[in-house]
Amino acid sequence: MTEPVIHTVLFTFLVFLVEAASRPNIVVIVADDLGWNDVSFHGSDQISTPHLDELAYKGVLLKNYYVSPICTPTRGALMSGRHPIHTGLQSGVIVGSQPYGLPLNLTIMPQWLKQLGYRTHMVGKWHLGFFRKEYTPLYRGFESHYGYYLGCGDYYDHSSEATPDYFGYDFWRNDTIDYTSIGQYSTDIFTKEAVNIINNHNPSEPLFLYLPYQAVHSGNLPDGNPLQAPQKYIKRFPHIKNSKRRTYAGMVSALDDAVGTVVDALKSQGLYDNSVILFTTDNGGPANGFDGNAANNFPLRLENQVNQIKRFVETEKFCNETWKLEQRFAEVKEEIDTKLQFVFKNHKDLKLARELIECDIDLVGNKAILASLNCEANNLRELISKSLKDKDILCAKFQRIQDFKQIVERKQNLIQVLARQNYNAKSRLEDQRKEIDQYIAKSLSTHFTETKTLTSGLHGSVVDEIDKFTALALPNLLFTVVNESALKTPISDISINQTTNLSYQQLQQLLDTVQFPPYKAPECILLHCLKMKYEDTLKKINWSDEDISSSQIEELCKNVHEHDQKLLDKMLPLLNQRINSTGKALADCVHVKDTISEWWNQPAQYVVPWVNVEGNSLQNWKEKWTILTTKLRQMMVKQH
């Protein structure tokens, strides 16, 4: 995309860093074929790269930083600190099994850093030669390498297009072929390996991690799938209609997430604050479908191409016109010379005539040059005038930018004030929230206890008597009271089953002692015993219907039922009224608590004391809370 540039300054800067006392960790992340307009910190409105943006805004943007137009030269310069023309890598990329690589007589970055006590690891693409093992990463200063040697390959099966004629499997762990990575997306497994290295690193030693990703280089071209990304990333860009560009955007998004994961790992291990993170691309993105890619280098690539084409067309046009004029001028000169020879027979006169014609031609030429210069001068004056206007426009824009910068600074100061107020308000609200929670818990506990006491204190009520009644076993449902004694004897102890040999007087005495007080016996159970179950026994003792009437028993049961119903009608409305009033008071308390909780979750500018919520300020809500809780306590005392 641009001219190659010497990386000596960058390399010297890194050496200066590592010679410092702290020896910072160094993480070099290299993207492959990433376009200028494929990251949002360069203004891309298609692809969002929040993690790269964070590094850019918190770090230093190198705006005069250049790379080579293809992979191998850039990587050789990055590793050696030398321009590719001095390493023999300037002409192209290493393809297939070509027998050359980064010269072995050069000491490269990991070797220098290793001498300074660094632990050196590489994860990703090498592309600096592998025709002999001495050219591979383990023999060039890296303690470990997980990745591939060639320039491209499939992102999932890791087969590599060595040349257009043959493929091969190219994925290594150190110096051993690794087949466990088949089927896994390369960006994901490179990130996982990098995070594993960071997590297992000893913080007392400096770390150098070289992380050249495969992304976003195209994959295998012949009968292959050059653009590959997981669907979860592709689905992030439904607004991109071109399918290739959409897949490419997914590849960039996966790379951005990977960089964020590596940075998070550095932070979690406490290495971030003492780390230098360098992110670069090896070259610009192949645009217009070249190499199966879908990158975008606007405005750089487009502007350069258009200008080059314009210059080429104009140059060719002028060259053609110049050649035609030169041919015509030569013909005219020959015609003039022929006429001069015909007119002037004397050699001396012919010579003077030729010189005069040459002077006339030079004069005409100089006049044409002067006219051309005047025209160019006018064009330059117009250009200068336009430049001055552009300068005025830029100055006005710069002034607006400065004014906007001042507005931003004032807003930042206001935000800081609001943030401090938010912090203080949150602290106060936290204390009030705890106090309210404690008060509500205490109030609810007290109310529950008082309600339970109130309910249990309703002696002789329907609930209490029904509980006692339903808790009795069937044989104990009938009771007898003897001589008004508080001692109650189950009727089964003096059951009719035991009165077979009783006399009539004894049986009469027994029945006289049987009573039916409220909630002590089920209706009609005695009638059932007398009329049905013990009919034979009554006949044997000469029982007569005149002695005790079933209608009398039924009347007694009816009276008991009516008495019970009246008691229920009296007690239940009172109990319901108390429950409803207490529930309303509790609902009001919960509403106030929920309102304060919602208030708590609002941003700083909405929690300051002078802001109203539902027409009430924080002070109004506190007073309302106090009134409601006071009413609740008064209601509890009144009910008690």
Which sequence positions are flagged as catalytic?
A: 71, 127
Residue partners of 336: CB distance under 8 A and separation at least 6: 357
Instruction: Report which DSSP code applies to 242.
Output: S
Q: Which of 198, 215, 185 is nearest to 262 (CA)?
A: 198
DSSP H/E element including 631: helix 618-639
Residue with tokens 């003039």: 336
In the chain, the amino acid numbered 304 is: N
Residue partners of 137: CB distance under 8 A and separation at least 6: 110, 122, 126, 145
Query: Where does residue 452 rank: exposed (0-12), middle (13-18), buried (19+ CB within 10 A)?
Result: exposed
User: Is the bond preceding 24 in cis, omega lying within 30 degrees of 0?
Assistant: no
Q: How many CB atoms lie within 10 A of CB 314?
A: 10
Per-position DSSP letters for 98-157, written without gaps between them: -S--S-TTS--HHHHHHHTT-EEEEEEE--S--SSGGGSGGGTT-SEEEEESSS---TTT
427 by DSSP, 3-state: which?
helix
The beta strand positions in 174-256, using DSSP E, are 176-177, 207-212
Phi, psi angles (nearest 5°) of residue 132: -130, 150
Report how far residue 416's alpha carbon sits from residue 373's, in angstroms, rounded to the nearest whole number.
61
Report how far residue 279's alpha carbon sits from residue 174's, in angstroms, rounded to the nearest whole number.
24
The DSSP bridge pattern shows strands 172-173 and 176-177 to be antiparallel
User: Is the bond preceding 216 in cis, omega lying within 30 degrees of 0?
Assistant: yes
Phi, psi angles (nearest 5°) of residue 400: -65, -40
Report how far residue 516's alpha carbon sits from residue 526's, in angstroms, rounded to the nearest whole number.
10
Structure tokens at 525: 């159970």
Phi, psi angles (nearest 5°) of residue 378: -60, -40
> Is residue 635 a contact partner of residue 446, using CB atoms and an 8 Å limit?
no
Alpha carbon separation from 330 to 193, 233, 355, 399, 473 (Å, rounded) = 74, 68, 16, 59, 139
Q: Residue 136, by phi and psi: left (phi above 0), alpha (psi -120 to 50) or beta?
A: beta
Report how far residue 452's alpha carbon sits from residue 606's, in angstroms, rounded to the nearest whole number.
42
Structure tokens at 90: 């300037």
Instruction: Report which DSSP code applies to 546.
Output: T
